[in-house]
């Protein structure tokens, strides 16, 4: 399994790298990648342009600092018997990291979130935003490192769509052995239109109403648990009536989970959880450690 870890100069990568190690993916091949971005030009007409000498000195200082950081990280991972290589690139960080992930046929891109000031909470940077929009690889976004000396719990939200099942199969291929418990979570928002459609296609709804839907979704969740048996994690089913985002947030709190795992958008009638927009919300707007699974084309 090839994993590109974006190594920035602010230390945000530390959380991402800690999650890669703690999740214990099957036979990880880690590619530590830093990108030296040219110094931003000053505001024209306000500050004099950089001289060529100053520009080259700044670029050289960045390059040396990043190379030293990559070398230290490489030695640390090799001491833990993790296959690792380092790559130092120049250009726009988001474009270069995504190009590297494609060139190396990576399975996962791991990035750390950055803090943009006390009043703005946690927000992902431009690289993670670009990966959310354009990358074909699965994506790990770490806001905080995994807790030390504590079992790792995760919520896996599913809409039971065909594509989401492919994403779940992708997770079994990644084979993380570091999770102790996974809560398979499905949320449903039963509006009047959906209820009428279900009543026509599923007569049992007329007799037992919401309870029939809940039990049906629990059964579907238990089937997902069977698919995840190779991960050797305890598995439970969580079904919540309500909108996806607050329902998932509540499931994370109730199960004391440190990681949220999401697939993609589904369109079936019974399962109305739209995970495509949900994953973007959690990635951009909330300080949640997030593993976004993308099934290969």
How much is the pLDDT for 192?
59
How much is the pLDDT for 269?
35
In 175-240, which residue ranges form alpha helices assigned H by DSSP?
A: 192-201, 204-208, 210-227
pTM for this entry:
0.85
| Beta bridge mates, 191 | none
How much is the pLDDT for 161?
86
How much is the pLDDT for 121?
36
How much is the pLDDT for 88?
95
In the predicted model, residues of the chain with pLDDT beneath 70 are 39-52, 54-55, 114-125, 190-209, 264-276
How much is the pLDDT for 120?
37
Angle at Cα 132 formed by Cα 129 and Cα 138, nearest 5°?
135
Question: CA of 229: how far to CAs of 39, 91, 150, 197, 226, in Å?
Answer: 49, 43, 22, 34, 5
54-68 b/e with 16+ CB inside 10 Å = b? eeeeeeeebeeebee
Architecture of the domain made up of 152-292: 3-Layer(aba) Sandwich (3.40)
How much is the pLDDT for 232?
96
Q: Where are the domains of the chain?
A: 2-142, 152-292
Architecture of the domain made up of 2-142: 3-Layer(aba) Sandwich (3.40)
Domains 2-142 and 152-292 share a fold: yes
| Beta bridge mates, 273 | none
Question: Which residue in 118, 126, 71 sits closest to 96, CA to CA?
Answer: 126
Measured CA to CA, the distance from residue 250 to residue 97 in angstroms comes to 34
Computed from CA positions of residues 189, 190, 192, 195, in that sequence, does the dihedral angle turn out positive or negative? positive
Asked if 291 and 138 count as a contact pair (C-beta separation under 8 A), the reply is: yes
Asked if 180 and 234 count as a contact pair (C-beta separation under 8 A), the reply is: yes
């Amino acid at each position: 399994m090839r994993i590109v870890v974006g190594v920035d100069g602010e230390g945000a990568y530390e959380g991402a790298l800690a999650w890669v190690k703690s999740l214990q993916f099957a036979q990880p091949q880690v590619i530590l990648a830093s990108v030296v971005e040219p110094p931003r030009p000053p505001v024209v007409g306000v500050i004099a342009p950089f001289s060529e000498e100053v520009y080259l000195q700044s670029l050289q200082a960045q390059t040396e600092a990043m190379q030293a950081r990559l070398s230290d990280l490489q030695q640390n991972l090799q001491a833990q018997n993790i296959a690792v290589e380092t790559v130092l690139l120049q250009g726009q960080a988001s474009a270069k990291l995504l190009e590297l992930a494609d060139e190396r046929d990576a399975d996962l891109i791991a990035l750390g979130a950055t803090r943009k000031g006390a009043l703005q909470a946690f927000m992902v940077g431009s690289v993670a935003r670009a990966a959310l929009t354009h990358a074909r690889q699965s994506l790990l976004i770490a806001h905080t490192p995994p807790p030390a000396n504590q079992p790792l719990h995760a919520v896996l939200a599913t809409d039971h769509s065909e594509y989401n099942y492919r994403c779940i199969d992708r997770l079994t291929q990644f084979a993380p052995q570091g999770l102790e418990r996974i809560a398979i979570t499905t949320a449903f928002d039963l509006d009047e239109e959906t209820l009428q459609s279900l009543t026509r296609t599923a007569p049992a709804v007329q007799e037992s109403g919401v309870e029939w839907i809940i039990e049906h979704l629990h059964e579907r969740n238990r089937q997902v648990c069977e698919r995840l048996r190779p991960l050797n994690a305890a598995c439970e089913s969580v079904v919540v009536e309500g909108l996806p985002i607050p329902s998932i947030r509540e499931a994370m709190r109730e199960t004391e989970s440190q990681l949220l795992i999401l697939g993609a958008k589904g369109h079936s009638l019974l399962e109305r959880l739209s995970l495509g927009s949900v994953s973007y919300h959690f990635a951009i707007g909330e300080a949640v450690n997030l593993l976004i699974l993308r099934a290969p084309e």
